[in-house]
């Protein structure tokens, strides 16, 4: 197949491109490098791999056939989307529209990378796909959360109206090699601080929880979802939909507090840094986040395989090497 990956020079996108090449496909990565880097794909020297520097919030023209579009383009770290709120809203809305337009034109399938952030600061834990969320439209995270919620609605509209073959994956906190050292997400932030011997900056009281999934597991879930052809199901209003078009959570249900996570990082790095408590730079920091992965287990036969300590050691090694450079 010839497969397009928007956001292909980003953290998850670059691992997905690698997996698609390993599966024997031809890959076109489209990325404007706003938060990604060509360093992430420099090793993909393969005649079946092509990189196009383009902002997908503007029309996408591509010659030749396309069989599938993975739409991953979007800033994803709170620090990034606070810096680029308008670009984040544009790529989730206009960018998703353009990616859907490309898929429709080429009669290709499309998978949209959504997020656990559509659940906002959830009042149910763990979060099943049926939970409708608790998002503030006007809060600092709103530019990301609402763009992704709009994106999901648009994908469903294309599925309903144009019968496009679509998938929506709700990705929970994913970590691994190639995360940007300064992207502000808690994993590279704590590891970088521990490696440099600086204090680890815990926001709030550190009682908020997250559930961390290793990138290879996330990519495997995404790939399985793209390949899943389910049954017809009756959706809201009695309309018949494809089961595979309805959202699927992909994440690791192992939940820990941020304070506990900081202590584990100190231990894994072997660092004598201290914890320091700071106010959270965003409002509405979700207090709990843990995926209910029953649907992924049942429909995709998927669950995370890489243990926390192993995934973190691989990530620490990668960040250590890059810090040394
Ligand atoms: P990332 O920032 O490393 O990658 C995103 C990529 O998209 C970057 O390479 C960036 O340059 C590119 N991009 C952004 N706007 C673009 C535009 N207008 N045109 C073209 N390219 C553009 O982030 P990531 O962690 O790899 O996230 C990838 C996707 O997965 C995002 O859609 C994100 O919302 C979703 N996601 C990730 C996580 C996670 O924990 N990593 C969790 C939930 C959802
Ligand atoms: N966090 C923290 N210190 C940091 C960075 C993040 O305590 O230096 C916390 C943040 O407040 C949140 C959690 O870690 O509760 C995860 O943050 P991240 O930015 O990785 O992503 P989020 O899950 O909030 O989108």
Query: Which SS3 state, helix, strand or coil, does residue 71 take?
Result: strand
Q: Which of 16, 57, 73 to mutate to test the pocket of ligand 1 (most atoms within 8 A of CB)?
A: 73
- Judge if the beta carbon of residue 99 lies within 6 A of ligand 1: no
189 lines ligand 1 (CB under 6 A): no
Question: In the prediction, which pLDDT does 284 show?
Answer: 86
Check if the beta carbon of residue 30 is closer than 8 Å to that of residue 74.
Answer: no
Question: Of the residues 144, 158, 175, 214, which is catalytic?
Answer: 144
Give the mean pLDDT per block of 10 residues along the chain (325 residues). Answer: 98 98 98 98 96 98 98 97 96 98 98 98 97 96 97 97 98 98 96 97 97 98 97 89 97 98 98 95 91 98 98 98 90
Give tens-digit pLDDT for 258-307: 999 999 999 999 999 999 999 988 888 999 999 999 999 999 999 999 99
pLDDT at 325: 81
Tell me the sheet residues that pair with 134.
120
104-121 tens-digit pLDDT: 999 999 999 999 999 999
pTM above 0.85, yes or no: yes
Is residue 145 in contact with ligand 1, taking CB distance under 6 Å? no
Q: Which atom of ligand 1 is nearest to the CA of 215?
A: 41
- Say whether 119 is catalytic: no
Q: Residue 172: name the closest of 116, 223, 121 by CA.
A: 116
143 close to 88: Cβ distance less than 8 angstroms: yes
For 155: left if phi > 0, alpha if psi spans -120 to 50, otherwise beta; the answer is alpha
Nearest-atom index, ligand 2, CA of 280: 11
Q: Which residues contact 232 (CB under 8 A, 6 or more apart)?
A: 240, 241, 242, 243
pLDDT at 119: 98
Please name the residue whose Cα sits nearest to atom 5 of ligand 1: 10
Sign of the CA dihedral 276, 280, 285, 287?
positive
Fold entry, domain 2-175+213-252+290-305: Rossmann fold (3.40.50)
- Residue in 4, 9, 10, 147 to alter for ligand 1 test, most ligand atoms within 8 A of Cβ: 10
The set of protein residues with a Cβ atom below 6 angstroms from ligand 2 is: 77-78, 173, 184-186, 189, 201-203, 208, 210, 258, 280, 285
Residue carrying the six token digits 């990034």: 80
Measured by CA distance, the residue closest to atom 44 of ligand 1 is: 115
């Amino acid at each position: 197949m010839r497969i397009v990956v928007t956001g292909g020079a980003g953290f998850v996108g670059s691992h997905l491109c690698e997996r698609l090449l390993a599966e024997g496909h031809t890959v076109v990565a489209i990325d404007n490098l706003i938060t990604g880097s060509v360093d992430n794909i420099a090793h993909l020297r393969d005649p079946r791999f092509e990189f196009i520097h383009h902002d997908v919030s503007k029309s996408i023209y591509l010659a030749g056939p396309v069989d599938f579009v993975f739409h991953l383009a979007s800033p994803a770290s709170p620090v990034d989307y606070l810096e680029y709120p308008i670009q984040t809203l544009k790529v989730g809305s206009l960018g998703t529209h353009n990616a859907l337009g490309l898929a429709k034109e080429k009669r290709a399938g499309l998978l949209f990378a959504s997020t656990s952030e559509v659940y906002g600061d959830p009042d149910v834990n763990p979060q099943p796909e049926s939970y409708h969320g608790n998002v503030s439209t006007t809060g600092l995270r709103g530019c990301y959360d609402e763009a992704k919620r709009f994106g999901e609605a648009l994908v469903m509209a294309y599925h309903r109206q144009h019968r496009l073959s679509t998938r929506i994956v709700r990705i929970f906190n994913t970590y691994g090699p190639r995360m940007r050292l300064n992207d502000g997400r808690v994993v590279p932030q704590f590891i970088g601080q521990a490696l440099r011997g600086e204090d680890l900056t815990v926001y709030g009281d550190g009682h908020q929880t997250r559930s961390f999934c290793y990138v290879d597991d996330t990519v495997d879930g995404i790939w399985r979802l793209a390949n899943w052809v389910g049954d017809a199901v009756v959706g809201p209003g009695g309309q018949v939909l494809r089961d595979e078009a309805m959202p699927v959570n992909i994440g690791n249900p192992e939940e820990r507090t941020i304070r506990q996570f900081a202590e584990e990082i100190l231990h894994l790095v072997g660092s004598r840094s201290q914890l320091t408590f700071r106010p959270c730079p965003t409002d509405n920091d979700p207090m709990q986040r843990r995926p209910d992965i029953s649907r992924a287990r049942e429909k995709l036969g998927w669950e995370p395989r890489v243990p926390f300590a192993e995934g973190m050691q691989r990530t620490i090694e990668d960040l250590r090497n890059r810090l040394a450079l």
